[in-house]
Amino acid sequence: MTTDVQAAYQIDDTGIDLDNKTLLEMYWQMVRARRTDERTWVLHRQGKIAFHISGIGHEAIQVGAAYALRRGYDYSHLYYRDLAFAFALGYTPRDFLLAVFGKAGEPTSGSRQMPSHFSSRALGMLSASSPVATQVPQAAGAALACKMRGEDRVVVTALGEGSTSEGDFFEGMNWAGVHKLPMICLVENNIYAISVPMHLQMAVPNVADRAPMFGVTGAVVDGNDVLASFRVMSEAVARARNGEGATLLEAKTYRPVPHSSDDDDRTYRSRDEVEEWKQRDPIKRFQDYLLERGILNDTAIEEIEARVRQEVDEAQATALDAPYPPAEDALFPVFAPDGTDR
Ligand SMILES: Cc1ncc(C[n+]2csc(CCOP(=O)(O)OP(=O)(O)O)c2C)c(N)n1
Ligand SMILES: [Mg+2]
């Protein structure tokens, strides 16, 4: 472990005023997403599902960001890595595993959409498209709608650092700046866009360095520190809600697993690099912080693990037992029942 990594291990709780119940709930959210994600990898390796794209390693920024929102009121426009984010907003392991198995009753789209395209009208999650960065102009549009209606809702959208090379990112951020929108563009910078490292995507050291050109606030946070993430996101939410405009928030993080179940990351990065980042695992860091302060102990850790295991087991059993959608469902709602376009 390098000195840099050791220095960055401590959780920065400056100015954090969360009660122990909330801290434990945040820890549980992170564990719940991690275990669901790990189970999904196992199901893939067992040949039971076709594809998985993982959020492992990104849990701290996602849970920290979600807890800074007025959940159920603010809007979110997430991306495929945001499993922990989606869970913290109310999506469940059952919802996710129904999508992974492509079963009927999946709440996002009845399993028409790929898994990890999180959306829910009830939870205020705008529907996700597969082309990366399209969510940025869409989120700007939603934020403009909130502003025009005089609502104090905030819109958060998330994407990876590689996706900020897309024109949609520039167009959406420009709009957010021009109209001083109540928007947060959260970039989960894990240094790679599949195999392409960040330095081949941009000539600046931080994605957030681009904020001044859009006329928005820029902020960088250690995305493996859940409390620092919560604090910086809370500041961005307050700015948005108070009419002070948008924030380009960059969370420095890492994905210790391949891009997706179709990727072999050994072809583009060293095992030493991956191991070094694993030393800064966001869940272990938060667990150590809670243990040191007596907020968590070994028995409580076991209880949380058992509760999560039971929920994931039940979600898996439900998803396995659920029927596939009927074939004719594929036509709905594309065509009216009588065959005419709607
Ligand atoms: C417009 C577009 N181009 C390419 C792809 C294929 N693709 C999916 S994810 C991805 C990498 C994105 O990397 P990054 O934005 O850094 O996010 P990360 O996966 O690292 O979280 C690419 C190229 C796509 N979905 N959309
Ligand atoms: Mg990336």
* pLDDT (tens digit per residue) in 28-39: 999 999 999 999
Q: Is the pLDDT of residue 332 over 50?
A: yes
Ligand 1 near 286 CB (within 6 A): no
* Res 155: pLDDT: 98
- Name the class of domain 52-88+123-306: alpha beta
Ligand 1 atom closest to Cα of residue 79: 21
Positions of E strands within 118-237: 155-160, 183-189, 192-193, 196-197, 217-222
Cα–Cα distance for residue pair 206/214, rounded to 1 Å: 15
Q: Which CA distances in Å does 247 have to 152, 162, 209, 321?
A: 16, 18, 12, 44
Cα–Cα distance for residue pair 234/236, rounded to 1 Å: 5
Q: Give the domain ranges of the chain.
A: 52-88+123-306
* Res 7: pLDDT: 59
User: In terms of pLDDT, which residue wins out, 176 or 5?
Assistant: 176
Beta bridge partners of 302: none
CA-closest candidate to residue 192, choices 171, 162, 170: 162
What is the pLDDT confidence band of residue 338, given thresholds at 50, 70 and 90? low
Q: Is the pLDDT of residue 311 over 70?
A: yes
Cα–Cα distance for residue pair 247/231, rounded to 1 Å: 14
Q: pLDDT tens digits for 98-124?
A: 999 999 999 988 898 899 999 999 999
Q: Are 285 and 64 in contact (CB under 8 A)?
A: no
Ligand 1 near 201 CB (within 6 A): no
**What is the Å distance from ligand 2's center to 47 Cα?**
27
Q: pLDDT tens digits for 214-227?
A: 999 999 999 999 99
What is the pLDDT confidence band of residue 46, given thresholds at 50, 70 and 90? very high
**What is the Å distance from ligand 2's center to 150 Cα?**
35
State the ligand closest to the CA atom of 132. Answer: 1
The rounded percent of the chain whose pLDDT value lies above 70 is: 95
* Res 16: pLDDT: 96
* Res 1: pLDDT: 39
Beta bridge partners of 251: 188, 221
Tokens 């990112």 identify what position?
169
Question: Which two tokens mark 249?
Answer: 């928030």
How many CB atoms are located within 10 Å of the residue 149 CB? 8
Q: Are 57 and 277 in contact (CB under 8 A)?
A: yes
Ligand 1 near 193 CB (within 6 A): yes
Q: Is the pLDDT of residue 342 over 70?
A: no
Q: Is the pLDDT of residue 234 over 80?
A: yes
What is the pLDDT confidence band of residue 2, given thresholds at 50, 70 and 90? very low
Q: Is the pLDDT of residue 86 over 80?
A: yes
Q: Is the pLDDT of residue 90 over 80?
A: yes
Cα–Cα distance for residue pair 84/64, rounded to 1 Å: 10
Ligand 1 near 190 CB (within 6 A): yes
* Res 4: pLDDT: 57
Q: Are 224 and 282 in contact (CB under 8 A)?
A: yes
* Res 331: pLDDT: 80
Average pLDDT across the chain, whole number: 95
The set of long-range contacts for 328-335, using a CB threshold of 8 Å and a minimum separation of 24, is: 329/104, 329/110, 329/112, 330/112
**What is the Å distance from ligand 2's center to 54 Cα?**
12
Report, as an integer, the average pLDDT of 67-90. Answer: 98
Q: pLDDT tens digits for 126-163?
A: 999 999 999 999 999 999 999 999 999 999 999 999 99
